[in-house]
Amino acid sequence: MTSSTILPLSVLDVVPVFEGGSATTALHDTVAIAARVEELGYHRYWLAEHHGTPSLATSTPAVLAGRIAAATSRLRVGSGGVLLPNHAPLVVAEQFGTLQALFGDRIDLGLGRAPGTDPLTARALRRSPGGDEHSFADQITELIGYFAPTDPGNPVIAVPAADSRPQVWVLGSSLASADLAAALGLPYAFAHHVNPQASVAALRRYRAAFTPSAQLERPRSLLSVLVTVGDTDAAARQAAAPYLLSKLWMRTIGLFDAFPSQATTNAHSYRGGELAFLDDLAAPQLIGGVDTVRRDLAALVDATGADELMALTIVPDQGDRLRSFELLAQAASSPSPAARPGVSVRI
């Protein structure tokens, strides 16, 4: 974003599939969204990795990143993230080295350690049932070693990864991931949408323990937040309701084939403490009209010290989703260029 915003804005996309839709439609919608948020001045666009989950059409972040990069010209594009234990580091280096070679210095490589799926699918991905042979830190170190500048003593060469290096980020939702990012001297992306209670502590810990590296001189963090902005608070809450209902479903019935439609959500009869459960889920996130989100965003940035906001917006209507990104850009507008000096520095 420009200096007239509180902080840079970015997008995390899980390519959601809603009831009555399809993965194919969701993928084409993603390309259209990326082109639009670039016009709005967003900074980066990340694709998640999930497997065996029909509601999330994002099993191949490297492939999707290539499509998004081809459809845009300035937006940074990458993974949010590649779940490294699912892959050989050499293969990831080859994939993202190819993206870097094709699209120049616009490629990010966010790395996570979760399986992103159920145990049986994880086994099919060739993950060891007894745990990973190497630690996540070792895998990251091996992966970075394939990018330029490479270790001249390494007999294995990743082509074309050895030509350059994408921006490598550590992703996480715990204090342990904050410690790892700090120790490796890498930028850190915290999943506030997963574990909002730990956001403040994790980012403080990361900054306090950060060790400068060849990749990064000073700590740099982003916060991934569930965001739905509407013309009113009520409109935003209605648009977010299908996703919130899906979280209730996850709690009660487990996996489902697609996110519920707006019609299914409207017809749902909430019982017992279900509404209170959903209110608790929504409260730490950014859901509301422009004024509400502007207020809550400022408070979140002040509390966490995050350098960048990454919006995860999961709503059934493509128009509502695009409108949310437009309104978020308005909500993030600073009253003066002096607000939060220095956060406009991009990496």
Domain spans of the chain?
9-331
Which residues of the chain register pLDDT less than 70? 1-5, 115-119, 121-124, 126-133, 255, 334-347
- Residue 335: the pLDDT is 58
CA angle 35, 96, 157 (to 5 degrees): 165
Strand 107-112 relative to strand 167-172, pairing? parallel
CB 309, CB 332: distance < 8 Å: yes
Residue bearing tokens 């409108």: 323
Q: Tell me, what amino acid is at 20?
A: G
Distance CA 68, CA 35 (A): 8
pTM of the model: 0.92
Residue bearing tokens 């507008």: 333
pLDDT tens digit string along 19-68? 999 999 999 999 999 999 999 999 999 999 999 899 999 999 999 999 99
pLDDT tens digit string along 128-148? 555 555 799 999 999 999 999
Strand 286-288 relative to strand 188-191, pairing? unpaired
φ, ψ dihedrals at 114, nearest 5°: -75, 160
Q: Please, which residues have CB within 8 angstroms of residue 279's CB and are 6 or more apart in sequence?
A: none
CATH topology of domain 9-331: TIM Barrel (3.20.20)
Give how far Cα 246 sits from Cα of 9, 165, 261, 286, 335, Å: 26, 38, 10, 18, 36
